[in-house]
């Protein structure tokens, strides 16, 4: 049985590890990226069933990453859930 693959794009170590651990324990295959450059590289290399995307990231923000994902025919149909811990 293949596990559904999730990419978590989050620069906060605590949140990244918390989500990753919870999803792994729930039976998902989880990979992480800490910034936009790493996220886009991983998205081009592998097909994910869903992407959990933080909005506030170093360098390229979540809106820019989402724009890149949605303009690429190979990745535009991947569901993206936007995350933010802004107050």
Band of residue 77 on the pLDDT scale cut at 50, 70, 90: very high
- Give CA separation, 27 vs 1, 2, 9, 18, 82, in Å: 11, 10, 19, 15, 21
- pLDDT at residue number 28: 96
d(CA 52, CA 9): 6
> Are the CB atoms for 80 and 51 separated by under 8 Å?
yes
- pLDDT at residue number 2: 65
d(CA 74, CA 40): 12
d(CA 3, CA 5): 6
Q: 10-67 pLDDT, tens per residue?
A: 999 999 999 999 999 999 999 999 999 999 999 999 999 999 999 999 999 999 999 9
């Amino acid at each position: 049985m293949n596990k559904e693959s999730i990419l978590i794009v989050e620069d906060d170590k605590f949140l990244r590890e918390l989500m990753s651990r919870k999803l792994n324990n729930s039976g998902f295959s989880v990979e992480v990226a800490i910034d936009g450059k790493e996220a886009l590289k991983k998205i081009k290399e592998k097909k994910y069933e869903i992407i959990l995307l933080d909005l506030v990231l170093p360098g390229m923000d979540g809106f820019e990453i989402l724009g890149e994902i949605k303009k690429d025919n190979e990745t535009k149909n991947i569901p993206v859930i936007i995350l933010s811990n802004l107050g």
